[in-house]
Amino acid sequence: MMSCRVPGCLGTVLLLLGTAGAVVAAPRAVSVNESSPATIRKHLKARGLAVSRVTTESAGGGLEIEVQRDVVYAVNGERKMTADVFVPRAAAKRPRAAVIVVHGGGWLKGDKAKFHPLATALARRGYVAVAIGYRLGGEAKFPAAIHDCNAATRWLRASARRYHVDPKRIGAGGGSAGGHLVGLMAAAPHVASLQGPGGHADVSSAIQAAVVLAGPMQLTTGPVARKSREQPKSSNANKWFGRTLDQAPELYRLGAPFTHFSPRTPPMLFLRGQYDAVAANIEGRARLAGHKVTTLARVYHRGRHGCWNQHPWFDVMVDEIDDFLARTLGDPTPGQLIGWTGAWLKADGIRVLRGDDRVELVVSGNVSNRVLKLPRLNNPVKTVEIFGPGQPAGKPQKLQIAPTQTHWEIRLPALARAERGVPNSDTSTARIRITTVGRPWSSRLPRVVAPATTLSDAIVLGSHDAVVVGKNLRYEPQPHKNTVGYWTRVEDFCWWSVYVERPGRYEVGVLQGCGKGHGGSRVAIRVAGQQLAFTVEDTGGFQAFRQRTIGHVTIPRAGLYRFEIRPVTKKTIAVMDVRQALLKRIGPVKAAEDSASGESPAPSSSR
C-alpha cells in the first residue's frame, strides 16, 4: 500500500490500483506471431501483468491446509502407487467434497508434484484434493494409467471416513493428458477393461464431476489421430498405446472418452486457452448435450496450452473450477468468507475476504475520512456498506461507489477522534462489504464471454465484461446503472472477446439508453469482419434502456471473435449508455457465405 497526501484531499488516499479496468489500446489485427510467448508477454505487460510460474505459495485461497505425502492408494506387483492428499485443517460441519487431481505430460512424463499448485488452491477453498501419480507410457502401456486413476477413485471412496470426505461427492480435474484421463474416468466407470486390479474391487470408481483442461476427448479423429498417422515416430499416443491408430483402431476407440459418453456421464467443465484449439471439444459437448449431460466451456484470453500452470491465467481458472465444483458437488464452505489473496488486491493494512456474493475488506489503521481506490470487479454492485467504527451493532452505513475509467473509489465517513487527532481504538478498523451480483470476479485479463450451454442460441455480452478504451468511457456498476456509460467522447469505444461455438447467422442487438433530447448519434458495431451501423434512439433517460435489433451477421466457424461498439458521430453531450449486447443465432451458415468474412480459418485466433 502506498499513502500520499493530495492537495485538497481531506484524508489519506489509498492507492490500491489493479488492472481490471485499465485503459488500454485495442488489440491489433491477428498476426502470424500473435500466439508466441514473447508477443503474449508484451501484450500482458501493457496491461500491467506479468507471466510467471505458479507455485504452492502463490496458488491463493484462504484456508489453512495440511499435506499428507506419498500415501499408497494401490499396489501393482512391487510397484506402490502414491498420492499426495491436501486437507483443509478447519473442522467441517459435514463431510467435504473431494477432487482427484491428475497431472499432464503427454502420457509419457510428469509427476504428481506438477499439479500441486492446483491441489493446494482447491484445498484452500475447502475441498479435499488428492494429487495422484500414475504409471506413464515408458513403464506400462495403455490401459495402465486409467487403471491407476480408477484405483485412486476407489481408494478415496473407501477411505472417505479417514479424510472426512463425502463418498457421493467426488470429482476429478486434470490438464492435457491428465484431462484426457479425467474425461475417461468420467465417461467409462462401467467399462470393466478400464478398471484394473488396483484394489477395492467392490467400490465404485464413478466420479460426480469432471474438469478437463485442454484434454483430447477424441482419439480416432482430430489432432491425436492426425499425428499418429502423419508423424508416427513422434506421436505420444503411438508410444502410449504401443501401436498406431491404423494398427489398433479398437484400442484408440476404447481409450477415447468420446466413445463412452452417455446419460450416466457426470457434468463436465472444459477449459482452454485462446491459442489452444478452442473448438476442439465441440463434438464431444454436442454428444453430451444429446444425452442431456450438463457441460460448460470456458476460454482464456491470450492463453496457450498449459496456461493453467501460469499466472495470470491460473487465478481465474481456479475461480471457475471452484464455481463449477461448488454448483455440482456442493459448496465446500457454505456461508463462509474465504481469504481472497492476490487475485484482486494486495495492500498493507487490508485483508480481503470473498463469499458467493460479496467482497469484504477489513481495513486497519486510521480509517476515518479515507478514500479507497480499488481495482474494478467484473460484477454489478448491489450495495456498499461499512461496519465497525461508530456504527450501531447490526446497522451498517451505506456508502457510495464512484467508478472511474481505471478503478472504483469509496469514501469512508468521517469518524470521531480523540484529543490531538489521535484515532480512538474504535476508529482504527472497519469492515467494508461490497455486495455483488454473482460471485465476485476480478479477471485481470479480459473475460471471454461464452454461451451458457452447448445448445444456447443467445450469447449475452454484459456491460460488466466490456473492455473500455478511451479517456471518459467506463463501466458503472451501481444497481440503477450497470452500464457502459459516460460516453462523452466519440473517440472512446468498448469491446468484448466472445467465444462462438455454433457457426451460423446471428441477429445483433443492444440494450441501449439515451437521455431525452440526446438521440441521433451514429454508432458502428463490428464483429467477424462485418460492420453494422445504427442511430441511437432517445429513450427518455440514459438508464431507460430499450432493446434494439441492429441487424444480422454471419459467423462462419467456431472460435474467438471481437465484438466492438464504436461511435461514428456524437449528436449532443453524450452518445448513449449500453447495458448489454446480444448475439442471437437465427439459422445455419449459408454455403455461399462460408468464407464471407475473409478471416483466418484458424480456430484459435482472436478474430
Q: How many CB atoms lie within 10 A of CB 77?
A: 5
CA distance 211 to 214: 10
pLDDT at 559: 92
- Of the candidates 354, 279, 273, 352, the residue with the CA atom closest to the CA atom of residue 310: 273
CA distance 556 to 600: 11
3-class SS shares of the chain: helix, strand, coil, % to 5: 20, 35, 45
Whose grid coordinates read 456498476? 477
Residues 6+ apart with CB under 8 A from 532: 508, 524, 525, 550, 551, 553
For the chain, how big is the Rg over CA atoms in Å?
A: 26
Res. 196: pLDDT tops 80:
yes
Q: How confident is the model at residue 17 (pLDDT cuts 50, 70, 90)?
A: very low
The b-or-e profile of 298-322 (16+ CB within 10 A means b, else e) is: bbbbbbbbebbbbbbbbbbbbbbbb
Rounded mean pLDDT, 48-71: 93
CATH architecture of the region 451-593: Sandwich (2.60)
Fold match between domain 2-20+344-436 and domain 451-593: no
Residues 6+ apart with CB under 8 A from 399: 384, 385, 386, 410, 411, 412, 413, 432
CA distance 334 to 108: 40
Bridge partners of residue 508, in order along the sequence: 551, 583
Query: What is the DSSP secondary-structure string of 535-559?
Result: EPPP-SEEEEEEEEEEEEEEE-SSE
Helix (H, G, I), strand (E, B), or coil: what is residue 396? coil
Res. 342: pLDDT tops 80:
no
The single-letter DSSP state of residue 425 is G
pTM of the predicted model as reported, rounded to 2 decimal places: 0.88
pLDDT at 428: 66
Residues 6+ apart with CB under 8 A from 543: 480, 481, 483, 513, 577
Q: Which of 132-141, 369-378, 453-462, 549-558 has the lowest mean pLDDT?
A: 369-378
Res. 65: pLDDT tops 60:
yes
Kind of pairing between the strands at 401-403 and 408-411: antiparallel
Res. 593: pLDDT tops 60:
no
210 phi, psi to nearest 5 deg: -135, 135
Most confident of 353-357, 442-446, 562-566: 562-566
> How is residue 588 written as a grid cell?
445455419
Q: How confident is the model at residue 31 (pLDDT cuts 50, 70, 90)?
A: low
pLDDT at 603: 36
Whose grid coordinates read 500520499? 4
Instruction: Kindly report, residue by residue over 243-263, the tens digit of the pLDDT.
Output: 999 999 999 999 999 999 999
Is it true that the peptide bond before 479 is cis, omega within 30 degrees of 0? no
CA distance 336 to 359: 12
pLDDT at 132: 98
Where are the chain's structural domains? 2-20+344-436, 52-217+263-329, 219-255, 451-593
CA distance 515 to 543: 8
Residue 450 and residue 465 in contact, taking contact as beta carbons nearer than 8 Å: no
pLDDT at 388: 74
Instruction: Give me the percent of the chain exceeding a pLDDT of 70.
Output: 87
pLDDT at 417: 47
Whose grid coordinates read 466472445? 498
Instruction: Kindly report, residue by residue over 463-504, the tens digit of the pLDDT.
Output: 999 999 999 999 999 999 999 999 999 999 999 999 999 999
pLDDT at 259: 98
Q: Which of 116-130, 200-214, 283-297, 364-378 has the lowest mean pLDDT?
A: 364-378
Rounded mean pLDDT, 188-192: 97
Whose grid coordinates read 467506463? 474
Q: Which of 50-64, 93-107, 580-594 has the lowest mean pLDDT?
A: 580-594
The hierarchical CATH code for the domain 2-20+344-436 is 2.60.40.1180
pLDDT at 393: 62
CA distance 193 to 595: 45
Which sign does the torsion angle of CA 308, 314, 319, 322 carry?
positive
pLDDT at 363: 87
- Of the candidates 315, 365, 303, 253, the residue with the CA atom closest to the CA atom of residue 499: 303
Q: How confident is the model at residue 602 (pLDDT cuts 50, 70, 90)?
A: very low
Which sign does the torsion angle of CA 332, 336, 340, 344 carry?
positive
pLDDT at 116: 98
**What is the residue-averaged pLDDT of the chain?**
88
Whose grid coordinates read 499428507? 68
DSSP H or E stretch at residue 585: strand 577-587
CATH 3.40.50.1820 fits 52-217+263-329, yes or no: yes
CA distance 287 to 265: 11
Residue 42 and residue 398 in contact, taking contact as beta carbons nearer than 8 Å: no
Res. 367: pLDDT tops 70:
no
Q: How many CB atoms lie within 10 A of CB 536?
A: 26
Query: In terms of pLDDT, which residue wins out, 195 or 29?
Result: 195
Res. 505: pLDDT tops 90:
yes
Rounded mean pLDDT, 201-205: 97
CA distance 521 to 319: 40
Residue 112 and residue 158 in contact, taking contact as beta carbons nearer than 8 Å: no
Q: Which of 282-291, 427-436, 444-453, 520-529 has the lowest mean pLDDT?
A: 427-436
Q: How confident is the model at residue 403 (pLDDT cuts 50, 70, 90)?
A: very high
Residue 176 and residue 213 in contact, taking contact as beta carbons nearer than 8 Å: yes
pLDDT at 207: 98
Q: How confident is the model at residue 445 (pLDDT cuts 50, 70, 90)?
A: confident
Bridge partners of residue 383, in order along the sequence: 435
Residue 252 and residue 142 in contact, taking contact as beta carbons nearer than 8 Å: no
Residue 333 buriedness (CB in 10 A; 0-12 / 13-18 / 19+): buried
Res. 271: pLDDT tops 90:
yes
**Angle 602-320-305 from CA coordinates, rounded to 5°:** 35
